[in-house]
A and B are shown apart, each in its own frame.
Chain A
Amino acid sequence: MSTIHTEHQIPGPGSLADIRTKALESLLIEKGLISSDAIDAIVRAYEHDIGPLNGATVVARAWVDPVYKQRLLSDGTSAIAELGFGGREGVDMVVLENTPTVHNVVVCTLCSCYPWPVLGLPPAWYKSYAYRARVVREPRTVLQEFGLELPDMVEIRVWDSNSDMRYMVLPERPAGTEHLSETELRDLVTRDAMIGVARIATPAPAAQR
């Protein structure tokens, strides 16, 4: 009882910063300049701020420009950098082309390496142990669970990302999209298709809506 726990009496640099932050926050809220809810919403939004749009832009360009597609498949890192996307992590990007007979799917069996400069943040299932373990052992079953039925003639290739190599799938361009612009095509491309757990469906004709 008589022991003096000095380690909690003098705040370390972390907790002094904590107190300075609280002091500033409470004053600014009292003055009506900001609200606690606004701070929460901002932190949430920025924690999820990179969407798969960069990847979709890359895919749409490859669909309309065969020369770009060749560059993309032979040197993913520099072809993606051409469009202004790239991480600072010094990792190589490899783009895998889906065809009528080959379907690629990406995983990181060790942790959750993910091509975030093009795809944003990984979905929770990508980081789950179940996906990481099972997609390697039984890819066809796992893809079925995602709602993707592949004919037996389609070979499935599973690619394991690591700290210096990140993979992204170039999905097949759906039939019936010949008339679409590059921007319209970009809007069709989904994150799941670029991970390889989905295909891109032919868009419903506008007349049906």
Chain B
Amino acid sequence: MAEETDPRIANMAEHIALPRQNGELLFQAPWEARAFGIAVALNEAGAYPWRDFSQGLAAETAAAEQPGEAQTSYYERWLTTLATLAITKGLVTPAELEQRIQEYLHQEAHAEHHAR
């Protein structure tokens, strides 16, 4: 299933096109690749049509270009789009997502503490 790529995802319009270098997808950290994979996997699983994601990403990109907005990277905007869509589609609730984030933050701080 995942062997075939979807040209609607691979070749999105210029302002939201996937970052590439010499044709290859460019991920600057492992989480960027995960966030990419999650968004596509949800689409393949039928959680939303790709148009919903690309329109969300376009809106996020336009909002980020407003004066006074903090600089964000492509995949930070991607992740915000993904989280927003997961919530509006009812896949996760804001409360459980926030709770899970806090758990991971706590775990990480704990691991750091014991690493000394």
Contact = CB atoms under 8 A, between A and B. Distances in A.
Given A43-B36, A45-B2, A33 B25 contact: no
A165 B112 CA distance: 49
Interface stretch (A13-21, A131-139, A179-187): A13-21
B40 to A, nearest CB: 5
How many B residues are at the interface, by size bracket? 35 or more
B38 A11 contact: no
A20 B30 CA distance: 13
B79 A21 contact: yes
A11 B5 CA distance: 34
Interface string A44-66: 11110110000000000000000
B25 A38 contact: no
A14 to B, nearest CB: 6
Contacts of B25: 46-47, 49
A102 interface: no
B83 interface: yes
B13 to A, nearest CB: 11
A116 interface: yes
B62 interface: no
Given A17-B31, A31-B91, A39-B41, A114 B23 contact: yes
Contact of B91 (A5, A33, A88, A112): A33
B61 to A, nearest CB: 16
Contacts of B10: 46, 49-50
A71 interface: no
Interface in A1-45: 1, 5, 8-9, 11, 13-15, 17-28, 31, 33-35, 38-45
Main SS at interface, chain A: helix
Given A38-B41, A42-B37, A42-B44, A116 B79 contact: no
A9 to B, nearest CB: 6
Given A24-B92, A33-B47, A34-B38, A41 B105 contact: no
Contact of B76 (A11, A15, A17, A27): A17
B23 A25 contact: no
Contacts of B34: 21-22, 25, 39, 43
Contacts of A49: 5, 10, 25
Given A46-B10, A120-B23, A28 B42 contact: yes
Interface of A: 1, 5, 8-9, 11, 13-15, 17-28, 31, 33-35, 38-47, 49-50, 87-88, 112-114, 116-117, 120-122
Interface of B: 1-5, 9-10, 14, 17-18, 22-25, 29-31, 33-38, 40-42, 44-45, 47, 75-76, 79, 82-83, 86, 91-92, 96-97, 100-101, 103-105, 108-109, 112, 116
Given A42-B44, A116-B22, 11 more contacts: A8-B112, A20-B79, A22-B31, A23-B100, A24-B79, A38-B45, A40-B37, A42-B36, A42-B40, A44-B2, A87-B23
